[in-house]
Structure 1
């Protein structure tokens, strides 16, 4: 109620991007104050539950609900986000060189559709800036994924160099990495999802992960691929086969959509990626297709239009091992995490599952 009754009315009167920066700066400041993390955890933290604790790629997740990339682009507020109930989080997308992104305005609220449209364009401080931010924040309490991309000026035929540079610079700071080839806001980026370009890029990424593993030792860090929801069934089949052959660790489904079906808001015609409620069913269907195409052999993180426990549970039953939210946090505030987690426990118990891992892909087994 604190967010919806007090903070949200103020934030929603502000320019969306200015409100975004205010939230990130506030969480950065508060998360680094003496006792600040404890206060955040007391107000919004999620009670640990054995039913929701899971392990994937040798990484322990206290609950399956994470923060999607795009909110904390520069890894500036990791301590703050870590203490409001997330089970893990993504930072980024980060590119080797800093870039300003697309011209303003580039972020739009669609309240009638419970959605957002953004055309940010990978605005970020670059790998050295993110490295400084992550280095200065101390020990993390939840797993951290680093979402990596290519600079706008880098041609696709040289894209692998940018992804390699991100992994080399940041390997010691993340628990796993996400290759972003699906943002609609960087010209030609989505073409990396198809054909030989995808295969060659993933070979290069895996090679760089292996090189850094040899350098750092320990467990080799997982790498996932984030794909778009705007794919044909044939493209999903081909992409799933290519990703399986590449031996990457998993898929995130999905990024934002360029579709605009059924929108009511005056901003519906804005260029960019659409997130939020209009993506709920589309992303769940994509997860189901990917789970079938990979025969459940490749972990999937489900993202897109999750606002309730039922939304999250549908994605888990469709084949997602973990889920992520973004737009729901903007519209509902941090309390949404507690509601989703508590609701998941209720739904798992109703279906006779003792742990969330047992529900993964249950829809395909008729359970």
Structure 2
């Protein structure tokens, strides 16, 4: 045989082996994604995604949800998990937090994962690209993420069309719209007012997000007269709509005791009263991290497991200060049923997650619900509502 033919033959076989091997790996991964198996995800897919650019990984997850590349679940929510946030009836208390589906691309896929409710956004009046890349960083050792996306989204008009189309097809799925302000806006409060006008006809609830650390000076709207002015204006606009949608306020975890009490005082007054608080957004703190990597020095908001205790303690403080008068949604570090239970007993009527999904995959949703229903029963509760704020009450009984 001619040496040239031998070389060509070997090269052809090598290419074939690479194609077959790559195809096998992709098929193996696709089956794992489709099955939603959490063990498979943690052992095989999570390390693979960890080697990718985190933002590319995020977009891949949105693509999977958008195109329904997960098999139909057999899990059925037990009666004990049904609950309420004010006027909203939820099949279960586990919600998808804002930040994952920024432009309302994959709501149906998220509903298929088993979330009891979905929050999209943050959405700004005008489309914006957000901050320069890279802007998302994984801290594998801490099961945490730092992001400084900066409200990248496709804007009110495009997102409204998608939410309207989705709600027309799936009217029973609870969808909240998290509202933000454009970075270059000269009147950020007006941006929130515009969001209330645009989405009041399609959203089940609206969130005033003034707690992102990734838009310069945005958190100043949480303070004193700024917050009072903001809430008076958006509530006035909300009340002028033909459909009165519940209005929630999302706060930061990096609040002083005085800031927390000031917010409680404001949201309790008649003219600035909100229908719920989301506690909390990402943190700028880095002291809670174990990793020695310089990645932790990247500016942005930290989410994930390290935030759990901080956010749960803040839920308890808000619940105590408000005396349970305004519903609280607990967010930050929820990665299992025990963590969800801690937030509920601290005072949360429901919980949301996002970062845990990146580390454990879609199977985590049903696992949390299974574990939560078990821990509720084992502690003698017949419903979520019975458990809300029970830890503070028990502590008070001891005194």
TM-score when scaled to structure 2? 0.85
CA contact (8 A) 2:85 2:350 kept: no
Q: Could you tell me which residue of structure 2 aligns to residue 258 of structure 1?
A: 284
1:20 aligns with 2:58: yes
Q: CA deviation at 1:140?
A: 4.5
Q: State the match for 1:249 in structure 2.
A: 275
The one of 281, 288, 298 equivalent to 2:309 is 281
Secondary structure of 1:164 counterpart: helix
The residue aligned with 1:356 is 384
Q: Which has the higher helix share?
A: 2
Within 2, Cα distance between the matches of 1:340 and 1:28? 22
Residue 359 of structure 1, CA deviation: 0.3
Question: Contact 1:85–1:338 at 8 Å: present in 2 too?
Answer: yes
- Local SS of the residue matching 2:170: coil
3-state SS of paired residue (1:83): helix
Task: Report if aligned partners of 1:146, 1:178 keep a CA contact under 8 Å in 2.
Answer: yes
Whether the 8 Å contact between 1:79 and 1:140 is mirrored in structure 2 is: no
Match 1:3 to one of 33, 41, 44: 41
Contact 1:177/1:223 (<8 A) preserved: yes
Query: 1:74-93, aligned counterparts within 5 Å?
Result: 74-93=103-122
Q: Distance in 1 between matches of 2:324 and 2:120?
A: 27
Equivalences for 1:165-244 in 2 at 5 Å? 165-212=194-241, 214=242, 216=243, 220-244=244-268
1:103-118 maps to which residues of 2 (within 5 A)?
Answer: 103-118=132-147
1:41–1:241 CA distance, 2 compared to 1 (3 A): farther
Corresponding residue number in structure 2 for 1:297? 325
Unaligned runs of 5+ in 2: 1-38
CA distance in 2, matches of 1:260, 1:271: 10
Q: Deviations over 1:86-132 (max 9, x none)?
A: 01111000000001100000000000111000000000000011012
Hey, which bits of structure 1, 4+ residues long, moved more than 4 A?
none
Q: 1:50 aligns to what?
A: 79
Show the 5 A alignment for 1:23-172: 23-30=61-68, 40-42=71-73, 46-137=75-166, 138-155=169-186, 158-172=187-201
Structure 1: which 5+ residue stretches go unaligned?
A: 31-35
Question: Residues 254 and 283 of structure 2 are in contact (CA less than 8 Å); yes or no, is this contact kept in structure 1?
Answer: yes
Greater Cα radius of gyration, structure 1 or 2? 2
Kept after mapping to 2: 8 A contact 1:40/1:84 = no
- Give distance in 2, aligned partners of 1:187 and 1:303: 22
The answer to whether the 8 Å contact 2:266/2:273 transfers is no
Number of residue-to-residue matches in the alignment: 351
Q: Please give the secondary structure, in 2, of the residue aligned with 1:117.
A: strand
Aligned to 2:27: none
Q: Give, in whole Å, the separation in 2 of the partners of 1:311 and 1:9.
A: 24
**What is the deviation of 1:6?**
4.2
Alignment of 1:268 onto 2:296: yes
- RMSD value over aligned CA atoms? 1.4
Q: Return the alpha-carbon distance in structure 1 between the equivalents of residues 339 and 361 of structure 2.
A: 17
